Chain A
Amino acid sequence: MADTEPALDIARHLKYWKMCLQHPLPNHYLSNEGNRVALAYFIINSIAILTPPPAGDADPPQTKPLIPAADRPRLRQWVLSHQHPGGGFAASSSLVFPLQGYEPWEPETGAAQDVEGPGLANLPATVFALHLLALLADEGDGAGAFRGVDRVQLLRWLRRLQRADGSFGEVLKRLPGRGWFIGGGNDMRYCYIAASVRWMLRGDLEEGQVGWVEDFDTDALARYILMTQTYDGGFAGSSQEEPHAGYAYCAISALSLLDRPLETTTTTPSHHSTTLRSGIRNLPGLLHWLTSRQFTYLDPDSPLAARDAPSSPDDDNDDDDNDDPINFLLPVHPGALAPPAARRHVACNGRANKVADTCYTWWVGASLIGLGAPQLVDWPAARRFLLDRMAHRIGGFSKYPGGPPDVYHGCFGLTALAVMGEAGLHAVDAALAVPVGTVRVIEKARAALVRRDRGRGAGLVSGAVALGVAMRGREPGWLRAVERG
C-alpha cells in the first residue's frame, strides 16, 4: 500500500523555484507589485525548505546550490535596500526612494516622531525582510545575518503601529489634517507579525541598558487577540467577523511567540505557551473548529458527490480568490463519505462551507501543531491531497485542484508538507514559518545585534556623554530627563 503513495518530486519543485528566482515574475503578479518583499520570501523560503543541510555525515550535495554562497551578500543587500530610515522595511522596491529623498528625515534626533519620510515602511514587509536576511545568511555566519538592520529604530516604529485596542496596523501615515494614521484594517496578520518581529529582534536587554527599547503593550495585544475568538470557536480579524483559518493561525502563533524563550533549548521547535493555553477562552471549541476545516475532497466526477452543491457564483477561474463550487462538494449522505483510508484525500478550507485551498492545509495544520495537537490532522490523507491534486506538473502548488502554481501557494504547500515531517525537506517551525535551521540563525543574529547595540552605546554614546559630563562638571538636567525617558 505504501508503494502507491504519491512522492514529492523535489527536483521538479526546485526547477519551478529556480524559474521564479532567476526570471522576472509574469505580469499577473502585478497586483503584488506592492508586496515584492513578500514574494521574495516565498521564493527563498521555498528553496531553503527544499534544500535541507546534509544530515550528519552525509556528503555535501554534488549539484550546484540554487543560491550560490557568493550571491548571498548581494541578495541581502537588496533586502536591506528596503529599510526605511524611520524604522522597518518598505514592501516593494518601487516604494524605496533614492537616498536624498529622505533628507528631511532625522531618526537620530527623535524628529522621526513628527516627520514623515517619502516611502512607507510596512509591517508584513518587515517580517519578510528579516526572514529573508536570515534565510540568506552566509554559511556558518548566522550571527551576521541581521548586520545592517537598525534594530532600535525598527522596534520604536513597531510600537507606534499598535492601536489603542491592542491590535496592530501595517503602516504609519500622516494624513493631512488628521495627524498620524495607523493604516491596514482589523487584521490578525499584523498582530501575528508584530509578535514575530518582536521575538526576532527585541532580545533580553533591560530598561536602562543602551539599546533597550520600550516594549509594545503585550498584554493589550494578548487581550485583543483572545477577544477575537468567535462563537463557533475560531478566530477572526476582530470579534465581530467570521472566523478564518489564516487568522486562527495568526492568533495562535502570536500568542505563542509572546512568551516564547529567546533561544530554543529543546529539540522540538514548539514550546508550551502559557499565554496560549491558559488564555484562550474556549480551547475545546478552537480545536473543534480547526479540525472541522478538514473535509474529504471529492473530485467533480465522484459518484459520491451530491449534485446540489452549495450555490456560489461560478466566476472565472483566473480569479485569485476563486470560489468554484465544484471545489467543495458535499456527499449525498454522511455515510457515503467513506473512501478507504488509504485512498482518500483530505483538504482544508479557511471558513465553514468554503472551498479547498492548498494554503489552508498549512494554516490549519500549523495551528494544531502550535496547540500541541498534531494528531487531530489526517496527515497521510492531507499529504495525498496536496501531492495528487495541488502539485503542478511543472512544480509548485496551485490554489485549487487543476489550477496554475503560484509562489504563495507553492510556498505554503511546502511548509505544510515540511511541518508534517516530509522526508527530504528541511523541517519547518510552525510558529515562524521558516526552516528550523533558519530559526537558529535568527536567534544568533538577534544576539549579535543586541550585543552590538549595547556595545555601540557603551563605546560611542556613553563615551560622548562621559566626555561631556567631564567637561561640564555635572550632568545637565535635560540629559537626566532623556535617560529617564
Chain B
Amino acid sequence: MPPKGKAAGKSKASDTPNPSPPTAPSLPLRPTTTTTTTTTTTNNNNPTTKPATVLARSQTRYDAARLRASKNAAPPAFSPADQSLRLATRIAARLARRPSDAAAAAAAALGGAKTRKEAWRAVNEGSVPLRAVVDPRARWAAGDEGRRTAEVSEVGVEVGVDLSERRLARKWRLGCLAVQSRRFLELRGSGGVGDGEVEAEICRRREMAALRAELYGAAVGGGGRLAVDPEWDDVVPVVLEEPEGALAAIQYSEDYAEAMAYLRAVMQAKEYSPRCLRLTEHIIGLNPAHYTVWLYRAANVLALKLPILDEIEWLNGVALQNLKNYQIWHHRHLLVDNYYPSIADDRDAVAQFAASERVFVRDILAEDTKNYHVWSYRSYLVEKLGMWDDAEELASVAALVDSDVRNNSAWSHRFFLVFSNPAHATPGVAATEADPKVPQAVVDREVEYAKSKIVLAPQNQSGWNYLRGVLVKGARTLASVEELAGSFVTGLGEGEEAEDVLSTHALDLLAEIYAEKGDKEKAELCLVRLGQKWDRIRLGYWEWRRKSLEVPA
C-alpha cells in the first residue's frame, strides 16, 4: 500500500542493471525514498526464507543484530521478512513516543502480517512522512553493508532479473570482499589491525561500493568517503529526513550529504576528536560558508587544546581559496581571542604576531582591496593587539590609498586608526563628534593628507568625506577649507558658458560653508545649481537642503 507512485518507480530502476559509473553518484539527495521502497517491496514471498520459522527466527536475528550493532560488529544479512518486522518495530517505537498512537504501537509490536498492515495504517493516519520511518543506517553505515547487499540481491531474484555470467561473477566478487571485510572487523575487534590492513580495507570497501553501484544502481551507495573509512565504523550517521513540504531544498552531492550526516552524528554526541576536526575540514572543503561547521571546529580546537597558531596557519590556506567567505574571519577572530591571552604579557611576541597577521591581511587584500570582512578583522586586530602607533600599519593603509584613491575601505580604516587611538582619543566620543583631546598637529596632518588626495581626484567622495570627518573631529569650521572647495568651482551662476564645476562634492561643501557663514543666498545658489545641472539625480535632496536653509539650525 504505501510504496507507490514515483518512489516505487525509482526502486525498479535501481533493480535493473545500471550502466552508470560506479563512482561519484550525483543524484540529488532523496536517497531514503528508495530505501523505504526496497524494504517494503521485499515483504512477501521470498523464496529463500522458510515460512514456518520466520517469526521466531527473525526476532532472534533482529535482537542479535541490535546487540552486535551496539558492539560495532557487522549485523548479519537480513531477510525481507526481518526487514519488515524491523520496520514495524521501528514504527512502533516511533509511535510509542506519541501517547495518542499507543494503541497502534501496541498492535505494531505484536508482529506478523497483521502488524505490517496496522503499522502502515498508523503511518498513513498519522501522516508520518515515509522517509521518516527509514533507518538511517540502511544507507551509510558501513556495518550494514552485508545486510544491504543481501536484501537487494533478493529483490533481484524475486523480480526475476536475468543474471548474466558477468553479473554473477561480480556478485561473487562482492561476496568474497564482504567476507574479507567482516574478517577485518573481527580482527580489529580483537585489536590486531595495522595501517596496511586499514588501507586494504578502504580499498576493499571502495571496490565493494563500486560493485554494488554497478550491480544495483548508484543510489544504493555506501561508497562514500566516510562509509568506507573504518575509522568511522562506530558512528551511525544521522541522515537528514526531509519531511513533506520542505522548502528551498538544494541539490547537492552525495559526498556532502554523507559528510553532513556524520557531522550531525558527532555533533549530537558532542564528540571532540581529531577525526571530527578532519570531518570539519572535509565539509569546509565542500561548503566553506556553513557557520555551524566552523563553530563546531572551533569547539574541537579548544577541546583538544590544539596549538592555535597551527590552526591559524591551516586557516591561511583556506582563506586564500575562499576570499569572500566571512565565516573564516569569525573563526580567525575567535582563535585570536583565545590565543592572545597566552602572549599578552610578552610585548615582542605580540608585535611579532601583529606583524605576521598584517602580512596575511595584506596578501588577502591584494586579491580584493575592499573586502569588508578583512577590513573588519583588521580593525579588530588593531584594537586587540594595540597596533595603533605601529608605523607600518598606517603606511600599509596609505599604500592602498595610493594605489586606489577611491578605496573607501582604506580611508575608513585610516580614520579609525588615527582618531580611535587611545593615546589621544577620549573614550566614549562617537566618530561623528569633536574630540578635544586629539592633538592639533594630528588634525593638521590629516587635513593636509585629505587635501593632497582630493586634488588627485576631485570627484572622489572618499577624500571629501574624510576631510569633513577630520574637521569635525578637530572642531574646525568647514570654512577653513573654503579655498580648496572653491578651487573646483568657477563662475557659479554666471551662465552656462562661464560656470564650471570639477567636483560636485566641492559645490556641496561650499553650500554648507556659505550656510555656516550665514550667506543664505550663496548657499542657495550652490544647491540650486547642483539640482539643476551638476547633480540632477539628487534633485530631491538638494531641494530638501534648500528648504532646510529656511529653518534656523
Contacts and interface: CB of A to CB of B under 8 A. Distances in A.
Interface of A: 20-21, 24-27, 29-34, 36-37, 39-40, 43-44, 71, 74-75, 77-79, 81, 91, 93-95, 97-101, 116, 118-120, 122, 132, 170-171, 173-178, 181, 183-186, 226-227, 229-233, 236-244, 281-282, 284-285, 287-289, 291-292, 294-296, 310-313, 315, 319-321, 323, 330-331, 333-335, 337-338, 341, 344, 346, 351-354, 373, 375-378, 381, 407
A221 B111 CA distance: 60
B464 to A, nearest CB: 9
A250 B83 CA distance: 54
B245 A312 contact: no
Nearest to B530: A334
> What are the 4 tightest A-B residue pairs by CB atom distance, in nearest-first order?
A231-B469, A176-B303, A74-B245, A232-B465
Given A177-B305, A183-B330, A310-B406, 10 more contacts: A30-B250, A71-B245, A78-B247, A94-B240, A98-B238, A239-B431, A333-B502, A338-B533, A344-B537, A378-B538
A32 B433 contact: no
B368 A75 contact: no
Contacts of B430: 226-227, 229, 239, 281
Contact of B412 (A243, A281, A319): A243
Contact of A75 (B245, B270, B305, B472): B245
Interface stretch (B16-24, B146-154, B191-199, B539-547): B539-547
A67 to B, nearest CB: 10
A173 B299 contact: yes
B541 A376 contact: yes
Nearest to A77: B245
Interface stretch (B55-63, B260-268, B313-321): B260-268
B298 A94 contact: no
A33 B292 contact: no
Contact of A40 (B97, B248, B264, B293): B248
A323 B244 CA distance: 40
A312 B244 CA distance: 46
B534 A334 contact: yes
A189 to B, nearest CB: 12
Contacts of B268: 97, 101, 118
Interface in B93-111: 97
A27 B472 CA distance: 50
30 contacts: A29-B250, A31-B325, A39-B247, A77-B243, A78-B243, A79-B247, A94-B264, A98-B238, A120-B292, A175-B299, A175-B302, A176-B272, A183-B295, A184-B291, A186-B376, A229-B431, A231-B431, A231-B432, A239-B430, A240-B416, A241-B376, A244-B372, A288-B541, A315-B368, A331-B459, A335-B501, A344-B536, A351-B409, A352-B406, A378-B540
Contacts of A353: 406-408, 460-462
Nearest to B416: A240
B173 interface: no
Chain B contact residues, majority secondary structure: helix
Given A74-B244, A352-B461, A353-B462, A334 B302 contact: no
Interface string B471-493: 01100000000000000000000
Nearest to A120: B292
Contacts of B250: 24-27, 29-30, 32-33, 36, 39
A177 B302 contact: yes
A240 B248 contact: no
A97 B238 contact: yes
Interface residues of B, number: 99
B30 to A, nearest CB: 9
Interface string B298-313: 1100110100000000
Contacts of A91: 292
Contacts of A120: 292, 295
A119 B293 CA distance: 11
B437 to A, nearest CB: 16
A33 B290 contact: yes
Interface in B209-245: 238, 240-245
Contacts of B415: 230-231
Given A78-B243, A376-B544, A185 B368 contact: no
B468 interface: yes
Contact of B248 (A25, A242, A281): A25
Given A94-B264, A232-B469, A175 B247 contact: no
Contacts of B325: 31
B323 to A, nearest CB: 8
A331 B536 CA distance: 14
Nearest to B404: A311
B462 A381 contact: no
